Amino acid sequence: MELLILMGVLVLLLALGVPVAFSLLGASIATFLVMDIPLVVVFQRLAGGISVFSLMAIPFFIFAGDLMYRSGIAQRLVEVAEAMLGRTRGGLGLVNVGASTMFGAVSGSAIASASAMGSTLMPLMKQKGYGADYAVNVTVSAAIVGLLIPPSHNMIIYSAASGIGVPIGDLFLAGVVPGIVTAVILMAVTWLVAVRRGYPSGQFPGWASFVRAILIAVPGLMAAVIIMGGILSGIFTATESSAIAVIYTVLVGAFVYRSLGWSRFVDAAQQSVKVTAMVLLIIGAATAFGYALAVLEAPAQLAELITSITRNPLAILLIINITLLVLGTFMDMSPLIVITTPILLPVVMEVGVDPVHFGIIMMLNLGIGLVTPPVGSVLFVGAAVGGIKVEDAVKTIWPFYLALIVSLVLITYIPALSLSLPQMFK
């Protein structure tokens, strides 16, 4: 009965348009009232959910990503990608995917990538004769790569939610190959759609321009090298690396590119505070909701249900993937990670799935939800930047959905894609 109330109130509040964090809190409060549990427990769990040291990395990585966008690093990455890929048919679409992959390596944020690549490339793509829906679909799909390429603050949330301290450094390394695989598959689909629509080819700017673009972009790309190199060498932790990323980005933007002034710095700080507040409130609310699920023994019941159907790890991963894909269409990524990780991780570990591997599966799976209505936040951002209706983008996005699903299947059933790099550096 209590579980029905918990889930029923959540669904009702979400259907009424109540923000996710307050829907989670409302459902938790309603359930605790019925169970006669003091309401102070809800707020203790909320505070405890965000009082985790590793979560300190989230505001810094969000801040670093916004600074990179405002300091012109995204523009330099676009120039490199254009020099490498722009001469093929539909070259600007490939440039979009390539630049998003590189930007993901220094920001780790899908929304930041969609905003940066969208504002930089969408006007140019439409000017060159590309359809607005194509520009939006390529941009939002490629933005998902940023969730896999380190650093990704969602991996930090997963590590904290796991309860077993999945190493953040291992998660960062595990995302590299899956991120590249996803980018390559998206490039193939981007090219095929461009050929089918008859989009134009670009021109190679010459080796001198190519080398110059790379040299100019190197200071920005070094952020990823410094972050991963510092973590792997043990010089600093993943949390400390986030603060170093901010300092490095400020230095590069202000003194190397000289495009980061005081006003842009303040704008980035204000936007990062807003985003961080939303993310941490959602994490805290999801922690309270997860506690209610634990009190009602929902994780154990779900695990028993799944294992009663099958104990085959391949079948269990298929069931979980389908479940997460459905949930991702109705709820944002951060609360789903906090809620579902403690429930699903023990189930997959029981049948031999590595927690690092499962973390990468979750990143891509729930990332697909970010470009799927009705709660696809990245899709809404891309459509807004592209100046088209979400419905118009969804009508033609199915080839890109298919590409992401193919990548999800490969990552799910070929663990070596995720585990080879972490094992190499142990």
Annotate 254-285 with DSSP letters as a single string. IIIS----HHHHHHHHHHHHHHHHHHHHHHHH
pLDDT tens digits, one per residue of 367-383: 999 998 877 888 888 88
| Residue 277: predicted pLDDT | 86
Residue identified by tokens 């969602």 is 154
pLDDT tens digits, one per residue of 297-351: 777 787 778 878 888 899 999 999 999 998 888 788 888 898 889 889 988 998 8
Give the span between the Cα atoms of 192 and 89, in whole angstroms.
Answer: 9
User: Range of 26's domain?
Assistant: 2-424
Q: Which of 205-209, 274-278, 314-318 is predicted with the least confidence, judged by mean pLDDT? A: 205-209
Domain tally for the chain?
Answer: 1
Return the structure tokens found at 426.
């142990």
pTM of this prediction? 0.86
| Residue 416: predicted pLDDT | 96
The amino acid at 285: A
| Residue 204: predicted pLDDT | 66
| Residue 86: predicted pLDDT | 66
Predicted confidence band of residue 357 (pLDDT cuts 50, 70, 90): very high
Percent of residues, the chain, with pLDDT higher than 70 = 97
Give the span between the Cα atoms of 74 and 219, in whole angstroms.
Answer: 12
Of residues 251 and 226, the one with the higher pLDDT is 251
pLDDT tens digits, one per residue of 242-260: 888 889 889 988 888 888 8
Contact between 360 and 171 under an 8 Å Cβ cutoff? The reply is: yes
The average pLDDT across 343-362 equals: 92
